[in-house]
Amino acid sequence: SQQGEEDPQALSIQEGENATMNCSYKTSINNLQWYRQNSGRGLVHLILIRSNEREKHSGRLRVTLDTSKKSSSLLITASRAADTASYFCATDDSGGYNKLIFGAGTRLAVHP
């Protein structure tokens, strides 16, 4: 079953703009991860934030986590056309080692 919802479901922006995606979840977690999926391909891990962390950076990516609100956001700065993909959050709900439950995903389109 899916853990939660992501919004927006779809996002269309111009190159150079920032893209923000949000994720909400329902249960307590060990960590929350963000993955990227190009159309028809497998998923690629982007970043992991642990439940005791509030913010994490990796290159042009910035992830925040608010465990009190059970929500996370992914910010991609200075977007590029190559960032066009679907982005999923996934939570490790402590119920099983590495057993991740994925959110609904945000389809990002970055136009040149």
Give the residues lining the site for another protein (CB under 8 A): 1-2, 30-31, 33, 35, 40-45, 48, 88, 90, 92, 96-105, 107
Cβ atoms of 101 and 94 within 8 Å: the answer is: no
Q: How far is the CB of 34 from another protein (least distance, A)?
A: 10
Block residue for tokens 């700065």: 77
78, 16 in Cβ contact below 8 A?
yes
* Cα 13 from Cα 21, distance rounded (Å): 12
